[in-house]
Chains A and B, each alone.
Chain A
């Protein structure tokens, strides 16, 4: 999202006011309560950090610039709870629970606070895949604006640069996927777990949901199409859909892909992807290699027997 929150590099936002050492942590007691409520209610697990970032970033620009920091948290929290169905507008307005609902049990009790805060929520994921970029390798961050939260600030976009550091493989918690999956007009094509957590380059970068923590996501050849061949898009979409249905976890997929992409480069990338998908489905007992081989022959046959200009159909 390229709203006013993405303000790195903007002019005209005024002088900085360094604090005095005695500045209180919270200027008003209510600020502390907003922070605490946000952390405590997060324990219900109804949203993740991307969803909550998006909630704050969705505040209209003029309001965003006018509001104090914790006011933005308050508005964001209300928005999250409304979206998750935890509260209704009427309840917020009246401060009273709707009648007829028995009270729930909060997941974060006082005795659990210390452990919960100490545990945090690590974003690293195990993968056998190599880093997407070597240090010193030329990179160019693409100017992309998904409607959800992105780690990629506008200020880093479209300038030739080079990779200065790599971090561990990390996941984006994918609220964008959750939100966008319901919209048929927006395709959540995200090949970036490849760009970031594996393989060398050439990912179509669109609505990225995975990264390695660095906001650097592609090399300078940014005019190439997302997919070189339709089959690449197909195998890509198949993988996303299968994962969505729970056929395998990201970790399993990343591991399967990691094994394959070690040996692949450039054009061979989606071939490695396809190999990885076939292996994973075979290992899961979801698609038998012999059956796939037979279908491949049947399709070749169908092409040979289809007159020019007619659709190719598989006879069963």
Chain B
């Protein structure tokens, strides 16, 4: 793409319009004292490096390994998840829904992008996209097929539409042949998609 020719030949190509708009906005808000730039960095750092689906995987692995914890998770997921240190923004009120031979759970937010941040981090693009939001509630089997997952006809699929307050975590079925695995090894089998319900936990290697 040819450069625009300005007087300064050593100048850089400015970023696209949206990026410039955001830069201008951040500059304005910092100058006005409405936001602290270091706080913005800390927020980005939190969601890029501290909060993500590994948190949820630890919750699932604990529930698979510990019968009492499993019971607590199903009874009061918010409290049980907080036992592992995960709580707060966008996960204030958690409900765990358990997959079984008979029932498979799928989570969506038809209205926007509500998602349990403390255990799964920020949602992937497809979760926030119109196709997923529109079809998860009307054609869950078709949606699962697009993720490469086909379930037996007799399996009941329950779709949970998140609200601004209530967020869901799918407790996937524990893979076969994992009886001897410790919690850390189990957590490695728990995928993000399995905790949303568009996938299953991985089989052990």
Interface residues of A (CB under 8 A from B): 5-11, 13-19, 23, 25-30, 32-37, 39-41, 44, 49-50, 53, 56-57, 65, 69, 71, 74, 77-78, 81, 86-87, 91-92, 95-97, 101, 103-106, 108-110, 112-114, 116-124, 149, 151, 153, 155-156, 165, 167-168, 170, 211, 213-215
Query: A145 to nearest B CB, angstroms?
Result: 13
Quick one: which of B4-59 are within 8 Å of A by CB?
Answer: 15, 18-19, 21-29, 31-36, 38-44, 46-48
User: B164 an interface residue at 8 Å Cβ cutoff?
Assistant: yes
Assess A37 versus B125: contact at CB under 8 Å? Given A7-B134, A151-B164, A167-B166: no
User: B157 an interface residue at 8 Å Cβ cutoff?
Assistant: no
**How many pairs of residues, A versus B, come closer than 8 Å at their CB atoms?**
234
List the A side residues contacting B46 at CB < 8 Å. Answer: 113-114, 117
Say whether A213 contacts B163, CB under 8 Å.
yes
- CB < 8 Å: which of A16, A56, A81, A95 contacts B24? A95
Residue of B nearest to A87 (CB): B28
Query: Which secondary structure dominates where chain A touches chain B?
Result: loop
List the A side residues contacting B27 at CB < 8 Å. Answer: 95
List the A side residues contacting B95 at CB < 8 Å. Answer: 165, 167
Interface footprint category on B: 35 or more
Return 21 A-B CB contacts under 8 Å, by A number.
Answer: A8-B134, A10-B130, A17-B129, A26-B48, A28-B18, A28-B19, A37-B25, A40-B35, A40-B43, A41-B35, A50-B164, A91-B28, A97-B32, A104-B32, A106-B35, A106-B39, A117-B88, A120-B88, A120-B90, A170-B93, A213-B93
- CB < 8 Å: which of B29, B124, B138 contacts A8? B138
Query: B130 to nearest A CB, angstroms?
Result: 4
How far, in angstroms, from A19 to B32 measured CA to CA in the complex?
39
List the A side residues contacting B39 at CB < 8 Å. Answer: 36, 40, 106, 108-110, 112-113
List the A side residues contacting B129 at CB < 8 Å. Answer: 16-17
Query: B76 to nearest A CB, angstroms?
Result: 10
User: B165 an interface residue at 8 Å Cβ cutoff?
Assistant: yes
How far, in angstroms, from A231 to B7 measured CA to CA in the complex?
77
Say whether A113 contacts B43, CB under 8 Å.
yes
How far, in angstroms, from A109 to B25 measured CA to CA in the complex?
18
List the A side residues contacting B41 at CB < 8 Å. Answer: 36, 110
How far, in angstroms, from A104 to B63 measured CA to CA in the complex?
47
List the A side residues contacting B141 at CB < 8 Å. Answer: none
Residue of A nearest to B138 (CB): A9
User: B62 an interface residue at 8 Å Cβ cutoff?
Assistant: no
